[in-house]
Structure formats: C-alpha cells, structure tokens
Chains A and B, each alone.
Chain A
Amino acid sequence: MSDPATLSLAAAAQALRARHVSSRELAEACLARISRWQPRINAFISVEQQPADEGVPLAHKDMFYRKGRVSNCGSKIRRGWIAQETSTALSRLDAAAMPQIGTLNMAEFAYGPTGRNEHWGDCRNPWNPDYIAGGSSSGSGAAVAARLAFGALGSDTGGSVRIPAAACGVTGLKTTWGRVSRHGAMPLSHSLDTIGPLARSAEDCALILAAIAGFDPQDPLSSREPAGNYSLAKRKFRVALSSDWIERHAEPEVAAAALAAARDLGATLVEVEPPEFDTLSAHCITVMQAEASAQHARWMRERPGDYSSAVRSRLESGFAVPAAAYLEVLRLRAAWLERFCTATLANADLYLLPAMKVRVPTLEQTGPRGGAGMPALLAEVTRLTRWVNYLGVPALVVPCGFDSLGLPIGLQLVGRPFAEAALLAAGHAFQCETDWHCRAPAERSI
C-alpha cells in the first residue's frame, strides 16, 4: 500500500477490518506526514508520538477536554490548563475506535474566523501558507486537508467548522443546535455553539457524526431526537437557491463554482428569494457577543491584557449589548426559523449557497497590516455562515472548485433542523459525481 494516510476514513476503516493495514501503520503514516507538514502550516498543538489505542486516528481542536490532559483553547489564559473530565464527544469517538493522535490549533477561545493566533502562532493554509486556513477550527481544516489525520472535530458558533472546511478544501458539517453533546467542550456562546466533524468526504463526516450524535444526560440541552444512521442512500432532492443573489454578491469565481456545483448535484433546482442574511447575521452577533462576554467576564475584569487585542475588542463589545436587545433577538429566533423552513424551504429539502462570498484571503489581509478594509473583509468571510447559527439549523460544506490562485472554494448546503442525513446524502451524491474532495495539497510545495 502507498501512503495509508492518504486513504479516506471510510477506506482506512475498511482496510483495518480486512487486516490490510494495522492501527500502528495508520498512526505512523500520520505521524510521518505531521513531521513534514507541521513546520509549514502549524496545524498541531500536541502530538501523541506513540498512540496506543486501536483504530483510525483523528485529531481535534484544542478545546475538547480529556481528563488529565492539557486543553489550551488557543489562549494564553488557559495555557497548560489540565482538564478534570473527558468530553462526551471524545469518549464516544474512543468507543468507536477513532483514537486521538493530537490536538489542533485554533483561534483564541474559538473567537475569530481566520485561524490567526498570536499566542500559538498562525495556522496556515496547506494549499498556500500565505493564506488563512479559516477559523476558528483552523487546525482541523488544515490537518485534514494535508492528510495528517483522517478527520477532526471542530466547533461552529458563527461558521467555525464551515469556514476552515471551505478555505482548506475539505468537507465540514455544522450540526443542528443540540445534535451533539457539548459536555466537556469549551463554551463560547451556549445558544449558538455546535460541534461537528471535518473530514475528507461526506461519507467520512457521516461516520464521525454517527459516533458522536445523540442525547447526553451530561448536556441537558442536547436533543432527544433519535440520531440517524446517516446511510447516504441515494435519493432525489429539491434544492433551493438564489442564483441572482449569488451572481450579484459573490466574487465571480466563487459564484461560478457554486452555480456549476448546483448543476452537478443532480437535484431539482428551485429559485427562491434569499433569506435575510444580514439581519440574521446581526442577530447572531448580538447573541454571540452577549453570551461570550458573560462567559469571559471574570478574566476580562482581572486580566484583559492576556487576550489578543482582536479577541479583547470582540469581548468588550459584548458588554455594551443591552440585556433587552439580547433577549429580544432570542425571542425572535423561533419566528425566523419558521420563516426559513416555511418560505425558503417551502418547496425544497435544502438551500444552496457559497460557504464564503469571497475567495480565501491572505493572512496579511486579515491581520493588523490589512489596513482600513480589514474589518469589512472579515465581515464578508462570515456573512454567509452566521445566519445559519442564529437559526440553529445544520449545514454541510463541500469543496466545489478552486480559484485562479489555486485556493479552494466551498459550497454550502443548509437543511431543516436535524436534516443531517439529507445533507450528508446530498454531499455524498455530489462527491460521487465530482473529484474536488479527492484533491490534496502537494507535498512538493512543502
């Protein structure tokens, strides 16, 4: 067998069952690649040099707690913090023979969309290290894209699974709010936080989701809705989209790739008015800022200088959100969800749009030297993801092309609550007809 690390998770699990490869060989193949890629992309925070457990190795954002192990949460404040319990998601993956080979870089406290991190070093895009990996699950996107792990967990509060998935050219699933237990995962905004997989295909995401989904008594907000079997069975889909909006608002290369992908889905396409992205995004920001600032209030009073200036700024804003405005937005949430499901999805199963309306930006464009246009660019990066978190519905991002500079473009499919099975089946059908998800950044560029 050539490099077993280049297999998909599904293929590696199959090879393991057939005894064509051993757990040790899979882990060693990943470790060899990590040693070659890490200096270039800085995706890992820690690596298990001698993984003992059997199975197909995954790596996870450094915010999923494991008893007795360090979770730094991408921060200076929690540097070296040792967890007292293991997260439910990690426990379930352990039980499903998907052991952890390391922890992954992330935005500080998962509060940033680029993967820049002044405490742990920026995570870089494996397709071109001058570009962002996307955040906040930056290491998860970069490690999966470079074939350093067979899959990864991320968290998504405003796009933090989908943006790195799109920027790095991998498949990422933002789950329905409550679908996956958040017990033992670092909180950012409890009304919005979700946990989901990043992997090389929809099929691989389905395997990870099947292991982690379902009610958990340790997270009373987790849903009792039965977890699906995510069988990926082929079926006919009706997919809504707003072609005019995409053509008018997305960068031309992004629009062309998304609309071409819509045609390749093999679905019946239904043109609809777009959801009110900007209003819903503003509501998401109100909730996120208020809840994140409450979460960090003690440290913001006692040691504000230990945050990066970018994260400190975001947290400061939350203390100025009026309580009545926060609660009004939460009161409106049910009505907006019903409008999406009864209007946008009136005659369709899924809604299609780009993951990001802009091409992947450079690290320089999104940092202190990005100039006056930097805040607006960051807003564009998250413009098509945050509205989904406010509604709490699931969304899948699959790679659907590359721009003229060789950076990936992501397609986003959004479903009704608990429609993960439909999203994964639609993504799998698309990936059966295309090979964007099979492309990996070349090692020769290391």
Chain B
Amino acid sequence: MTAAKQWSSEAIEAVLAAQGIPLAPGRAEKIATALNAATVSGTLCLELESDPSGYARALERCKAK
C-alpha cells in the first residue's frame, strides 16, 4: 500500500509553470484535489517484466474465438 498523495495547489502551479503552461485562475486547487483522489494500481500487481507492449499481446490472447 502506498502512502497518501500530497499534491498541493502550489505544487500544481509549479509543475505547470515548469512546462510553460499558463494556468487559469482557481484551477490549481481543483487539479490537486483530483490528483490526490485518483487511484493508480487498483487491486492488481504486476511482474517487473510487464511493460505497455503487453497490451497488444493481451488483445490477441483475449480475442473472440
């Protein structure tokens, strides 16, 4: 289990500013709230060897017979 995420509006402002993205007024706090609420891995665990290309093979394995 990972620790709770701690995005703040200041962190969001800094992350977007570093990428050259101007942020509309009042948006940083909303984005921080949404990021803190988002789950990432759910209930699945992966092997170290898993990478995104495994999806193409899964489509093939799972297709309708």
| Closest chain B CB from A226 CB (angstroms) | 11
Known: A176-B59, A416-B62. A334 touches B50 (CB 8 A): yes
Q: Which of A41-49, A125-133, A261-269, A337-345 lines the interface with chain B?
A: A337-345
Known: A330-B55, A338-B58, A422-B64. A320 touches B15 (CB 8 A): yes
Q: Does A95 contact B (CB under 8 A)?
A: no
Q: Does A319 contact B (CB under 8 A)?
A: yes
Q: Which residues of chain B from 47 to 62 have any CB-CB distance to chain A below 8 Å in the complex?
A: 50-52, 54-55, 57-62
The reply to whether A416 and B42 form a contact with Cβ atoms under 8 Å apart is: no
Q: Does A415 contact B (CB under 8 A)?
A: yes
Q: Which residues of chain B from 16 to 55 have any CB-CB distance to chain A below 8 Å in the complex?
A: 16, 19-24, 27, 30-32, 34-35, 38-44, 46, 50-52, 54-55
Q: Does A430 contact B (CB under 8 A)?
A: no
Most B CB contacts (10 A, CB to CB) among A280, A283, A335, A418 go to A335
0/1 per residue, A409-446, Cβ < 8 Å to B? 00000011111011000000000000000000000000
The reply to whether A332 and B27 form a contact with Cβ atoms under 8 Å apart is: no
In the bound complex, residues from chain B placing their C-beta under 8 Å from that of A194 are none
Q: Does A20 contact B (CB under 8 A)?
A: no
Q: Does A177 contact B (CB under 8 A)?
A: yes
The reply to whether B64 and A419 form a contact with Cβ atoms under 8 Å apart is: yes
Q: Which of A75-83, A115-123, A309-317, A352-360 lines the interface with chain B?
A: A309-317
Dominant secondary structure of chain B at its interface with chain A: loop
A416 to B65, CA, bound (A): 9
In the bound complex, residues from chain A placing their C-beta under 8 Å from that of B58 are 333-335, 337-338
In the bound complex, residues from chain A placing their C-beta under 8 Å from that of B51 are 331
Tally chain B residues at the interface, Cβ within 8 Å: 37
A285 to B64, CA, bound (A): 27
The reply to whether B50 and A316 form a contact with Cβ atoms under 8 Å apart is: no
| Closest chain B CB from A334 CB (angstroms) | 4
Known: A309-B24, A328-B40. A316 touches B59 (CB 8 A): no
| Closest chain B CB from A345 CB (angstroms) | 9
In the bound complex, residues from chain A placing their C-beta under 8 Å from that of B16 are 316, 319-320
Known: A335-B46, A338-B62, A422-B64. A316 touches B15 (CB 8 A): no
Q: Which of A177, A312, A329, A417 contacts B62 (CB 8 A)?
A: A417
Q: Does A113 contact B (CB under 8 A)?
A: no
A342 to B31, CA, bound (A): 36
Q: Which residues of chain A from 229 to 246 have any CB-CB distance to chain B below 8 Å in the complex?
A: none
The reply to whether A320 and B64 form a contact with Cβ atoms under 8 Å apart is: no
In the bound complex, residues from chain B placing their C-beta under 8 Å from that of A332 are 41-42, 44, 46, 50
In the bound complex, residues from chain A placing their C-beta under 8 Å from that of B27 are 313, 316
The reply to whether B64 and A417 form a contact with Cβ atoms under 8 Å apart is: yes
Q: Which residues of chain A from 44 to 85 have any CB-CB distance to chain B below 8 Å in the complex?
A: none
The reply to whether B35 and A333 form a contact with Cβ atoms under 8 Å apart is: no
| Closest chain A CB from B56 CB (angstroms) | 8
Most B CB contacts (10 A, CB to CB) among A316, A317, A327, A416 go to A316
A279 to B37, CA, bound (A): 11
Known: A319-B16, A328-B41, A330-B52. A416 touches B31 (CB 8 A): no
In the bound complex, residues from chain B placing their C-beta under 8 Å from that of A177 are 59
A441 to B51, CA, bound (A): 48
| Closest chain B CB from A372 CB (angstroms) | 13
Q: Name the residue of chain B whose CB is nearest to the CB of A416.
A: B64
The reply to whether B61 and A338 form a contact with Cβ atoms under 8 Å apart is: yes
The reply to whether A325 and B40 form a contact with Cβ atoms under 8 Å apart is: yes
Q: Which of B7, B34, B52 contacts A333 (CB 8 A)?
A: B52
Apart from A417-B59, A419-B63, A422-B64: 8 A-B pairs, beta carbons within 8 A: A312-B24, A320-B15, A325-B40, A330-B52, A332-B44, A332-B46, A334-B58, A417-B62
A-side interface residues toward B, CB under 8 Å? 176-178, 223, 225, 276, 279-280, 282-283, 285-286, 297, 300-301, 304, 309, 312-313, 316-317, 319-321, 325, 327-342, 349, 392, 415-419, 421-422
B-side interface residues toward A, CB under 8 Å? 7, 12, 15-16, 19-24, 27, 30-32, 34-35, 38-44, 46, 50-52, 54-55, 57-64
Please name 6 pairs of A and B residues whose Cβ atoms are closer than 8 Å in the assembled complex, sorted by A.
A279-B42, A320-B7, A334-B50, A335-B46, A341-B62, A418-B59
